[in-house]
Structure 1
């Protein structure tokens, strides 16, 4: 990527509640890091509302901005860089915010919630110390009784008598040929 001015998100898709990181890089005509550039970013939300932000210079030619609490949807951005009121470059792009997933934020098991879910769905909540009784509970469920279905299929030998005759004929021919050539 030989662009002298670029602003891009660290990822193109974020989960809901995650901060969005925009990173910028600026180089002069000789591709040396350019410091002291003011980078303005205009972010457009899914409803079309525009908000202005400015990237902070973290290292020479390295700029950074973090956006928090963005709603779900696809956002676009336009970035313009100026140094001493002289335009340095422009860039644009987009990123998406996905749905927020509570499972990613609360990593401990919620026993009360699991008991409620088991009660509402007709299930059972079992602690780890009671796992030995789980097998008995499963065996006692009426819907989980074993169902055995046997099917016997007999094939009478006389239906394949012709095949037996061919096999015997071939074995007899082999025996005769071996006798004839004294191989036995």
Structure 2
């Protein structure tokens, strides 16, 4: 039942997103469109409550309960940026909006962008790990929480990978091929 509910929440996320954007752009009703988009967090609340009830009714914690916690964490941390990303592209593509802002490609501006992206993913992993820990405490010492611990380890990997990616852009910034070596390093080129 939990796995089906996760799928339904994901489908409902995209349906609400499409409905909110349709109200905003097609019907030209931005306030009702925003109201529909604000309903997105209710999906996570429903999933959290149903998962807690399932565990309270004696269900053995398994991968589905862990996946529910991960889904909630990632939707809470990444949902807003996903909505903004889709909104900007829909507005530009079909409704004459400005082109979406592209992330910087080079140097420390790119590194800063990667750190902001990593921060969102790390927040998602932290929320998921916190929910997984709360579920483990909720089940108590009498239940098998190994599947929840497995998901927590995976969240540790998410954090590590994002730190490595963002760190690599900081330690080895990509240089603009149009700049000379001196200018890319922040030095003035030698005068002849």
Q: Normalization by structure 2: what TM-score?
A: 0.21
Greater Rg by CA: 1
Q: Counting helix residues as a fraction of each chain, which structure ranks higher?
A: 2
Higher strand residue share: 1
TM-score by length of 1: 0.22
